[in-house]
Structure 1
Amino acid sequence: MRIIDLSSPVDASFFEPDPVVHEILTPAQGAVHMSEEMREHFGLDFSPDELPDAEFLSLDRITLTSHTGTHVDAPSHYGTRASYREGGPRHIDELPLDWFYAPGVVLDLSGREPGTVGSDELKREFARIEHTPEPGEIVLLHTGASGWVGTRRYFTDFVGLDGGAVHLLLDLGVRVIGTDAFSLDAPFTNIIQRYRESGDRSVLWPAHFAGRDREYCQIERLANLDALPAPYGFHVACFPVRITGAGAGWTRAVAFVDDSRPS
């Protein structure tokens, strides 16, 4: 069994519209911090000098959004309306774990100009790989955008799905759709330009807004999809971090490939 990492890193040196702030306390600084915390919260006096090498443990403080790095979007991310259930859309901590470990299918959407991909293009890709996604399978979109991770281009040069393409996958029983791009929708610049030209509100984030009427999750900002040896025949694990009441949770997405199986 081979494990392929499908995750992009959280890196404070990368360009991000919402910058990552990463503060590192060294083991020596961690000793001082621990001493101060023990005194404040537990009334204990303990000097860092009593520790070997006057060091305790390192500590990382990170400020970032739950949509930084590889993450799973919950239905509550798409809006407050959920026409498919009473009580509103579910948050990331409320979703069943069996959604996030399943057979995977990767579709090649690379080499296209920024914009949207429709249902007809997905059907042509199904025919090319000789496989139509089955209920519960996790569909991954290889757009090639992960090659620009860490740069401004990562946020402007990729393709997303239109509403019809999302509904096609959901009609097939898919509950989790992933992409190696910043968004499952087209780039913001592309969406706004098409909206200004047409005045058609249906072009505004149709992939996300489809989640107001159909319950499903997205995995955004995947990586290494070109390392998968075949379009299907592998499993994906993408369990989201359990953040109470959140619209998304980070994930270390991986693929499990059984190289002993015929391709």
Structure 2
Amino acid sequence: MRLIDLSSPVDATLWEPDPVEHEVLTPREGAVHMSEEMRTHFGIEVGPDELPDGEFLSLDRLTLTTHTGTHVDAPSHYGSRAGYGDGVPRHIDRMPLDWFLRPGLVLDLTDAPTGVIGADRLEREFARIGRRPAPLDIVLLHTGAQRHQGTPKYFTEFAGLDGPAVHLLLDLGVRVIGTDAFSLDAPFGDIIARYRATGDRSVLWPAHVIGRDREYCQIERLANLEALPGPDGFRVSCFPVKVAGAGAGWSRAVAIVDE
């Protein structure tokens, strides 16, 4: 089999609205830190220079949101109530694992301008590739947004789904929808402009708000979708990190191509 990395990095050098802070303790600094920790918490005296090469282990400390890099949004991210089940949306650590290792279907939407992608555009793509998603397929939207990764444009110039497009995929049995863009919804500026022009509240982040009444997950900030072998013929593995009580979890998303 062949593996294709579909993940964007957590990288403190890239521009983010919520900057990533990455502090690195070198192996020498780790030795000093370990010596102090052993003395303070366990009463054990071990000098840094007693360790091989005067080093212990490096240590990385990061400050970031669970929506940095490639990540999976849980239903609890969309709101505090659910119009299904017991009325309480599930956190990321409670989602069924079998949603996150499934056949994939990538849709080429690279011609979409900044703004919204409607159900009619998805239907045209289904017709072009000659198939529709099967229940529980993981649908990936290749919008081309990755070209702006690491810059402010990545957060303002991309295309996202409107409400009918999300409903179409959910009606087909899809439970995980992925995108190479910052959000499955259209950019903030585009959404607000359409709302001010129409007064229609249904244009306000519909892809996320629909998740309050229909349980599903989003994978945002994917990458490398152009490397996939075709619209199908691969599986997607995108297990989220098990962050207890969280509305999202980071994922190392990978396509598995059986050869």
Fold conserved between structures, TM > 0.5: yes
Aligned to 2:32: 32
Instruction: Output the aligned Cα RMSD.
Output: 0.7
Q: TM-score by structure 2 length?
A: 0.99
**Pairwise CA distance, 1:120:** 1.0
2:233 counterpart SS class: strand
Q: Which runs of 5+ in 1 are unaligned?
A: none
Deviations 1:22-63 (A, max 9, x none): 000000000011111111211111110101111001000000
* Aligned mates of 1:214, 1:191 — CA distance in 2: 21
Question: Secondary structure of the residue that 1:124 maps to in structure 2?
Answer: helix
SS at match of 2:256: strand
Aligned residue identity for 1:223: A
Which amino acid counterpart does residue 257 of structure 1 have in structure 2?
A: V
1:157-236 superposed matches below 5 A: 157-236=157-236
Q: Distance in 2 between matches of 1:37 and 1:150?
A: 37
1:12 corresponding residue in structure 2: 12
SS of equivalent to 1:82: coil
Q: Deviations over 1:47-98 (max 9, x none)?
A: 1010111100100000000000000000000001101111410000001100
Which SS does the other structure have where 1:154 is aligned? Answer: helix
Secondary structure of 2:174's counterpart equals: coil
Alignment match, 1:247: 247
Q: Name whichever of 105-114 and 222-231 sits farther off.
A: 105-114
Q: Does 1:142 align with 2:136?
A: no
Note the residue ranges of structure 2 that are not aligned, 5 or more in a row: none
The aligned counterpart of 1:126 is 126
Cα distance in 1 for partners of 2:195, 2:45 equals: 63
Match of 1:152 in 2: 152
Output the CA distance in 1 between the equivalents of 2:16 and 2:85.
35
Matched residue SS, 1:72: strand
Match of 2:45 in 1: 45
Paired position in structure 1 for 2:258: 258
Q: Name the % identity.
A: 73
Please name the residue that 1:57 is paired with. 57
SS in 2 for 1:233: coil
- Cα distance in 1 for partners of 2:172, 2:184 equals 18
Q: Does 1:86 align with 2:90?
A: no
* Secondary structure at the counterpart of residue 165 of structure 1: helix
Cα shift readout 1:157-187 (whole Å, capped 9, x = no counterpart): 1100011111110010000000000000001
* Contact 2:81–2:87, Cα closer than 8 Å, also in 1: no
Which deviates further from its counterpart, 113-122 or 100-109?
113-122
Give the alignment's TM-score, normalised by structure 1: 0.97
